[in-house]
Chain A
Amino acid sequence: MTDVKTDERTTGTPGTRAGAVRALLRGTPENAGLRQAIGWGIGLLVLIGAFGLQTQLYTGQVRTVSTVFMFVGLAAAWNLIGGYTGYACFGQVGFFGLGAYSTAILMVHAHVSFWLSMAVATVIAALFAALVGWPLLRLKGHYFAVATLGVAEALREVVINLPKLTGGGAGITIPTFGPDAPTPWLGNDGFYVLFLILAAVAVAVGGVVAVSRGGYALRGIHQDEDAAAAMGVNTTRAKTLTFAGSAALTGAIGAAYAFQQTTLFPVRPFDVNITVLMVVMVVLGGSGTVAGPVIGAVAVAYGQEWLRQHITTGHALVLGAVIILAVVFMPQGFVNYASDAARTGRLSLLDNVRRYRL
């Protein structure tokens, strides 16, 4: 009898279809399994739709959409450490550049095939992250952000100053055809599929983390690290593993980026703006959610492209204004705002402003 009462209170009006939909949106423990199944289903449909989209695009658009997928993957990877765990990694682009340069060096100097190089680059990025993460993950807040930023900048400087290996500032070019090429270039369509798969993997990892025991540990660390440790979470291990996993995904995407670009200069794959874009995408979409990074990455990457085409001078100025407005009016991100609004029925953006106001 008590069970029924609880059911009524938490799920609203049972029996009606609208009541059932509202209950689903509210996310009660009873329908968690169903919600998960629906989430995976929607994800699969989007993935199939993205494959179908490829046939409808012409060459220039294929490249643009590939870039959007790249950012979806990067944002989803950053979300693991930044969103779930709450560690503001501002050096994520370091792993991207590390993956890119590992691939380029292996393909140019050791004539290793792209696929093997990508696997090795992924492992290198993960190991490097574990190595620097072990001491640096003791830091919190801005200090962790600065330390990781320093790591990424140092990596770039190392790459610039090893010209024999990396080509230095003059760049390094991966041979893509003829007898020198370890793997022939994949073509725009090939890279579309590759980036789509990488993005799907990154988002799927986020989906698994969101519902797994480890994911709860990460969110526990985010909310109160001491409490999480007291509950028996090995926080150092959890943080380091997450950091390494996030770096591995980022490194793999960097590897694909290197082969897509074929010529690498140190400035671009270590551009701090790539890190900032990942953070912008995750925060605007909704950090610590599965769909947030995807929505944020698509919106920001597409919006940036739209601005670039429609406003010739000052598109970055508009982007800055949009970021400011979005951060003030929707600081918790779109997905969190939408799910809160569905649960409480409060749509006012001013409530958001009041939340963090002094």
Chain B
Amino acid sequence: MSQFLQATVYGLLQGCIFGLVAVGFSLVWGVMNVVNLAHGAFVLMGAYMAFELNQAVGLDPFLGVLPAAAAMFAIGYLIQRGLVNLVVNAPIFITLLLTFGLELLLVNGMLIVFTADYRSIPTDYAAHSITLPGEVHVPVGRLIAAALAVALTVGLSWFVRRTRTGMAILATGMDRGAARLMGISARHVYALTFGLAAALAGAAGAAVGSVTTFSPADAGRFTLFSFVAAVLGGLGNTYGALLGGLVLGVFQAWGGQLLPGTLVNAVAFGALVVILAVRPQGLAGRAFYASRVEV
């Protein structure tokens, strides 16, 4: 029983990290209908920024979230404004290929600069754990990362619903033509959205770097997790990614306990396919976004 509880708690914490990684990915997909295959590379860029800051001036990785997010926002804004906006009206292969090319460029650039070695950002508290009744251990680093995930999701939710800029993002996502008629500059809003997603990815990277090891080769894995979490949660909700991440995390933790080997991955991908076939709008997705989905 205690083992099961431990697995559940661990799965929830891991799920929050999945959600944190996926929230920006889901935002870009929902607003622009662009699947950003370079998202995992953005996460790693944030992780390496926090790592370098930690090495250079000893900055705590969870404080490193702020500079990483700010730098990634600028990079994301420029990439969208200068590159992705050029093909945003093209068929989906084109945007997929463009972001894949970007992923190759960024990941291999990081391989050259930082080598393929696995890194982690050491702190003296992240590996400590709080022991709850029932012999359940909660690592402090993961707890902070989970709190960050929830805080950023709530913050993003507030931002898109309560601020003018946020509502402009939502409106452009719903109907770009109408939004432009209302005086919204779609180019700028798209770039803002992409920058925001990159900033969230950078923040996720800094947090991930302090709780696990990372290397440039992990980019694809992060993108895949984002895919699964975004699809499970559904698009059109800022908390959809967190929900999807939590489901994925708990599912993996339970599966790891019950199933032999890595069969849990097979079941996870199988479940993803079944969910797509049965309820493509995801668990919390909105009907509007689902209308893009089915024939």
Q: Give A residues with C-beta under 8 Å from B.
A: 82, 86, 88, 90, 132, 135-136, 138-143, 145-147, 149-151, 153-154, 157-158, 160-161, 225-226, 235, 272, 276, 279-280, 283, 287, 313-314, 316-317, 319-324, 327-328, 331, 353, 355-358
Contacts and interface: CB of A to CB of B under 8 A. Distances in A.
B85 to A, nearest CB: 5
A139 B294 contact: yes
Interface residues of B, number: 53
Interface string B151-194: 00000000000000000000000000000000000110010000
Closest 7 pairs between A and B when the two form their complex, measured CB to CB: A320-B104, A323-B101, A157-B266, A320-B105, A154-B269, A356-B90, A317-B108
Interface of B: 29, 33, 35, 83, 85-94, 96-98, 100-109, 112, 186-187, 190, 220, 224, 227-228, 231, 260-263, 265-266, 269-270, 272-273, 276-277, 280, 292-295
A143 B279 CA distance: 11
Contacts of A328: 83, 86-87, 98
A283 B94 contact: yes
B277 A327 contact: no
Contacts of B102: 320, 324
Describe A's contact surface by its main secondary structure. Answer: helix
Given A160-B262, A355-B89, 7 more contacts: A82-B93, A88-B93, A136-B276, A146-B231, A154-B269, A356-B94, A357-B85
B229 to A, nearest CB: 11
A84 B243 CA distance: 37
B265 to A, nearest CB: 4
Nearest to A134: B277
7 contacts: A82-B93, A142-B33, A226-B295, A320-B100, A324-B101, A327-B98, A357-B85
A186 to B, nearest CB: 33
Contacts of B280: 139, 143
B266 A323 contact: no
B143 to A, nearest CB: 30
B87 to A, nearest CB: 5
A317 B103 CA distance: 9
A153 B92 contact: no
A319 B269 contact: no
Contacts of B266: 154, 157-158, 161
A331 B190 CA distance: 20
Contacts of B108: 314, 316-317, 320
Given A161-B266, A358-B190, A327 B276 contact: no
Describe B's contact surface by its main secondary structure. Answer: helix
B276 A317 contact: no
Given A279-B97, A317-B105, A160 B261 contact: yes
A320 B101 contact: yes
B115 to A, nearest CB: 11
Contacts of B109: 314, 317
B203 to A, nearest CB: 24
A109 B261 CA distance: 23
B187 A358 contact: yes
B105 A324 contact: yes
Contacts of A279: 93, 96-97
A81 B187 CA distance: 32
Nearest to B81: A358
Listed residue (A140, A151, A314, A356) with the most chain B CB atoms within 10 angstroms of its CB: A356
B276 A150 contact: yes
Contacts of B295: 138, 140, 225-226, 235
Contact of B292 (A138, A141, A272): A141
Contacts of B35: 142, 145-146
A141 B87 contact: no
Given A88-B93, A160-B261, A272-B220, A313 B190 contact: no
A89 B146 CA distance: 34
Nearest to B277: A135
A139 B187 CA distance: 29
B101 A327 contact: yes
Contact of A138 (B101, B186, B294): B294
A157 B261 CA distance: 10
Contacts of A139: 276-277, 280, 293-294
Contacts of B265: 153-154, 157
A225 B293 CA distance: 13
